[in-house]
Amino acid sequence: MFRIDNHDDSGARAGVLATGHGKVQTPFFMPVATKGTVKTLTHEEVGNLGFDSVISNALVLYLRPGVETIEQSGGLHSFTGWKKTIFTDSGGFQILNPEFLKKADEKGVVFRSPIDNSRHTITPEKCIEIQNRMGSDVAMVLDMVIPFGASIEENSRAVNMTSDWARRCKEAHKNREQLLFAITQGGTFSKLRDRSTRELLEIDFDGYGIGGLSIGEPKEVMHQIIKEQNKVLPEDKPRYLMGVGSPVELLRAISMGVDVFDSTFPTRNARHNDAYTFKGEFNISRGKFKNDYSPIEAECNCFTCKNHSRAYVHHLLKNKEVTGQVLMTLHNLAFIKNLMTRSREAIVENRFNEFKNHTLRGMELGENKK
C-alpha cells in the first residue's frame, strides 16, 4: 500500500502510495476537484500536467448530484471520467462555516444545505457509507474542526469527538478496496495533538491526515506542530498535511517529512491573477505586463508558457475572459507539479536541503519580486 524509497538527511521522504487506480509517487500534491472537477480545467488537462491524484468533497457531492446518481453511474471514477486516484474529503472542514453548521455533538453533524436549505444529519457511519458507495480510492474520516484561537477546553472536546468519530468510521468502513485515512486535531496545543495522534494510532488507519492547520495560526506555530506530529506518526504510513498549498509551505513541510498535500491555493490564486514562478510570484494584471511579450516563466514547458505571452494573458484577464483563468490555472498547476517532481528527485539524490534553500532564495529574491 505504501513504501518509502528514500529518506533524505533533511527528513524528507520519497515513497509510493498504491491505490486501486494506480500508484502515486510521494511527495505529491492533489489539485482540488471539490465537485468532481478542477475549476476551469478538464480532467485530460489535469492528467496531462502529470497529476496522478485529485481530491473531491464527498459531502458536497452528496448534496448534488447525490450518492445515487454517482453510484448508478458506476462510481466516482466513472461519473467524473477521472481514471486515476481519487481522495474524498468527508466534509469536516465545512464545520468551520457557521452558515453551514447547525449543530455538532457526539452523534455527528447537523447542517443546512446551501443549495436548497434542506436539513441533513451526517454521522460518522453515514459519512463512510457515502464514501464507500462513491468508490473513491482514499476516504477520510469525519473529524471535528474548530477555529483557530479556540480554548484548550474546546480543542480537548474536539479531540474527544474526532477520536470517537474515527473509531466509528473504522467500524463502518466496508469497502475493502478503499483506503481509510484518519485526521488528527488538537489545534495548536502540543499535548492535545499528541493525544489525538496516539488515540488514532491505536485504532490503526491506512494513513494519517494532519488537520486543523493553515486556518489562521502563525506559520512558525504550524511548523512546530507539523514537526511534533511527524515524530509520533508512523514511518510506514503516509502523512497528509491537509489544506496547505503555497510553494514555500510545501517545501518546508516536505523537509519535515510530509508526503501528501492538497489545497485550492494554486488554482484560486490563478483565478485572481497571481502567477507562480521560480523567480517569485507576481500579479499579471498589473499594468507593467501589458506589453510584456515574454512567457510567464521562460523555463516552463506548460501549454500557457509555450504558446502565449504575459501580455496576452494580461489582456484576457483584464477583459475577464475565462480563457485567461484557464491559462493561469494550467501554469500554476504545472509549476506545482514541477516543484513536487524536483523535490522528489532531490530527495532520492539526498540533496533536498540544498534544493529547498536554493528554490526559496530564488522565489524570495528573484526578478519577479521586484
Of residues 269 and 146, more confidently modeled: 269
Do you know the residue count of the chain?
A: 370
Same domain? For 116 and 251 the reply is yes
Pair 183, 239: CB distance under 8 Å: no
pLDDT for the residue numbered 368: 87
Same domain? For 159 and 253 the reply is yes
Quick one: angle between helices 219-232 and 247-255, nearest 10? 30
Mean pLDDT of 63-74: 98
13 belongs to a structural domain: no
CATH of the domain at 172: 3.20.20.105
Q: 223 is written with which cell numbers? A: 511548523
* CB neighbourhood size of 213 (10 A): 25
Of 212, 232, 263, which marks where a domain is finished? 263
Same domain? For 222 and 279 the reply is no
What's the half-sphere exposure (Cβ side, CA atoms, 13 Å) at 355?
24
pLDDT band at residue 208 using 50, 70 and 90 as cut-offs: very high
* CB neighbourhood size of 214 (10 A): 19
pLDDT for the residue numbered 94: 72
Helix (H, G, I), strand (E, B) or coil at 228: helix
4 belongs to a structural domain: no
For the stretch 233-256, pLDDT in tens is 999 999 999 999 999 999 999 999
Same domain? For 51 and 165 the reply is yes
Same domain? For 132 and 236 the reply is yes
Mean pLDDT of 16-32: 98
- Which of left, alpha, beta for 75 (phi over 0: left; psi -120 to 50: alpha)? left
16 belongs to a structural domain: no
Would you call 74 exposed, middle or buried from its count of C-beta atoms within 10 A (0-12, 13-18, 19+)?
exposed
Same domain? For 213 and 275 the reply is no
- Residues designated as active site: 89, 262
Same domain? For 75 and 222 the reply is yes
Q: Which residues share a beta bridge with 104?
A: 109
20 belongs to a structural domain: no
pLDDT for the residue numbered 366: 83
Of residues 100 and 196, more confidently modeled: 196
Same domain? For 321 and 197 the reply is no
Q: 169 is written with which cell numbers? A: 468510521
- Residue-number span of the structural domain to which 320 is assigned: 271-369
Nearest alpha carbon to residue 140 among 75, 89, 184: 89
pLDDT band at residue 370 using 50, 70 and 90 as cut-offs: low
pLDDT band at residue 367 using 50, 70 and 90 as cut-offs: confident
Same domain? For 58 and 206 the reply is yes
Q: 296 is written with which cell numbers? A: 510567464
11 belongs to a structural domain: no
**Sheet order of strands, 239-242 included:** 28-31, 260-263, 239-242, 207-210, 179-184, 138-140, 85-89, 53-57
10 belongs to a structural domain: no
H/E stretch holding 262 = strand 260-263
Would you call 99 exposed, middle or buried from its count of C-beta atoms within 10 A (0-12, 13-18, 19+)?
exposed
8 belongs to a structural domain: no
Q: 78 is written with which cell numbers? A: 466513472
Same domain? For 252 and 298 the reply is no
CA–CA separation, 237 vs 229, rounded Å?
13
| Beta-carbon contacts of residue 86 (< 8 Å; ≥ 6 apart) | 21, 33, 53, 54, 55, 56, 76, 77, 80, 136, 137, 138
CA–CA separation, 183 vs 30, rounded Å?
17
Same domain? For 313 and 256 the reply is no
Total domain count for the chain? 2
Q: Do you find a cis peptide bond into 65, omega within 30 degrees of 0?
A: yes
Average confidence score pLDDT of the chain = 96
292 belongs to a structural domain: yes
Nearest alpha carbon to residue 210 among 218, 231, 220: 231
Same domain? For 253 and 305 the reply is no
Checking if the pLDDT of 150 tops 60, the result is yes
